[in-house]
Structure 1
Amino acid sequence: MSVDELQAYGLEKMNDTEIRSFLSTQNTGVLGLPEEDAPYLLPLTYGYDGETRLYFTFLLGTSSRKRALSQAADTASFLVFKVDTMYNWESTLLRGSITEVSETEWDSLEEVLSETWRPELFDTVTLSGEVSVYEFEIDEQTGIKHQGLPPAFQTTDESQ
């Protein structure tokens, strides 16, 4: 079924303001980078500038697949979702470009990146590993949400 068909069951499209609000209240998602056989998917935390850019901190090894794929990508996708219950969830799919941020610009991103949640392990490993910051510029965004029971499950009391 299409998104339009699912609207009869309570699914709603999110507008740009709702998408920005949702991205501002979340901090994890899945980055999809193009690869020959299938997309390369990475769960990541992110910082959001509140408008059109997400920022990722990559912990890199000596031969980093995510760095190579990020540098080769013309377009990438990023999925952010939140599921509270089977009847209460939100999902946003973003498409855009991903580029490495020069280390000289990191200080200007301190506020955006300081709120980014990271597993404790990453903070420990960061002291001994190579780190890079990547910017994801949002070119397209779509969002859907379902909040509450589908209309078929809602009851009305007609006796009142």
Structure 2
Amino acid sequence: MALDQQTSLSEAETDTVLARHETGVLSLARDDEPYAIPISYGYDADDRRFYLRLVSTPGSEKRQFLSSDPRVRLVVYENDDGVYRSVVAVGRLEEIPRSELTVEHVEQYGEAKRPLFEIWGESRQDLDIQLYQLAPDGLSGRSVEVDDASEST
């Protein structure tokens, strides 16, 4: 399988990819230790901002990483008829305390899909749901086409 040259996505193309999906992989780091999890997100193309509901238990590994205020990467990707696209957002998560929720926040979280990844060993009352937003320092998209004619069988 031969790959054609990788190209950058325009802002509009990047926004389209992000709007088309609702899940990605969120990566956090603390010291030299990485942590990556699948997440659901909402995306506001006007503000180029992500909205996330992260569910954890008080002593969980996820909670430990989040409390260290790490830089994060959110990766969203797709394969559509031989065209691979990926978008990477880099920045810091900002927790939105429930006491500071605005009407705009409520609208955005209403647009964000319910977390699709809810596999927990604990009962629901032990789960902690925290709201975050990510206004990325960097947001980039890439695309590459696969030349199917060169594939061998």
Instruction: Determine if the TM-score, normalized by the shorter chain, exceeds 0.5.
Output: yes
Structure richer in strand, relative to its length: 2
| Residue of 140, 143, 150 corresponding to 1:142 | 140
Give the structure 2 partner of residue 99 of structure 1. 94
The equivalent of 2:71 in structure 1 is 75
In the alignment, is the contact (CA less than 8 A) between 1:53 and 1:135 conserved in 2?
yes
> Does 2:34 align with 1:39?
yes
Q: Structure 2 residue aligned with 1:119, among 116, 119, 122? A: 116
Change (3 A) 1:106 1:41: farther
The letter for the 2-side match of 1:68 is Q
Please tell me whether the aligned partners of residues 33 and 73 of structure 1 are also in contact (alpha carbons under 8 angstroms). no
Please state how far the C-alpha of 1:66 moved relative to its aligned partner.
2.0
SS in 1 for 2:136: strand
Q: Which moved more, 1:23-32 or 1:64-73?
A: 64-73
| Contact preservation (8 Å) 1:60, 1:67 | yes
1:75, 1:120 → 2: CA distance?
22
- Against the structure 1 CA distance between its residues 121 and 66, is the aligned structure 2 distance closer, same or farther, given a 3 Å change threshold? closer
Shift of 1:10: 4.4
- Work out the CA distance in 1 between the residues paired with 2:59 and 2:142: 37
Question: Could you say which residue in structure 1 is the equivalent of 2:130?
Answer: 132
2:61 maps to 65
Which structure has the bigger radius of gyration?
A: 1
Unpaired segments ≥5 residues, structure 1: 1-5, 155-160
Alpha-carbon distance between aligned partners in 1 of 2:94 and 2:31, rounded to the nearest angstrom = 20
Structure 2: 5+ residue runs without aligned partners?
none
Q: Give the structure-2-normalised TM-score.
A: 0.77
Q: How does 1:43-58 map to 2 (within 5 A)?
A: 43-50=38-45, 51-58=47-54
Deviations 1:106-146 (A, max 9, x none): 65323222231433857xx8952321101111110121113
Q: Report if the CA contact (8 A) 2:18-2:76 is conserved.
A: yes
Question: Which structure's relative contact order is higher, taking Cα pairs within 8 Å and 6+ residues apart?
Answer: 2
Seen in structure 2, the aligned counterparts of structure 1 residues 38 and 121 have a Cα distance that, compared at 3 Å, is closer
Bigger helix fraction:
1
- Identity over aligned pairs, percent: 22
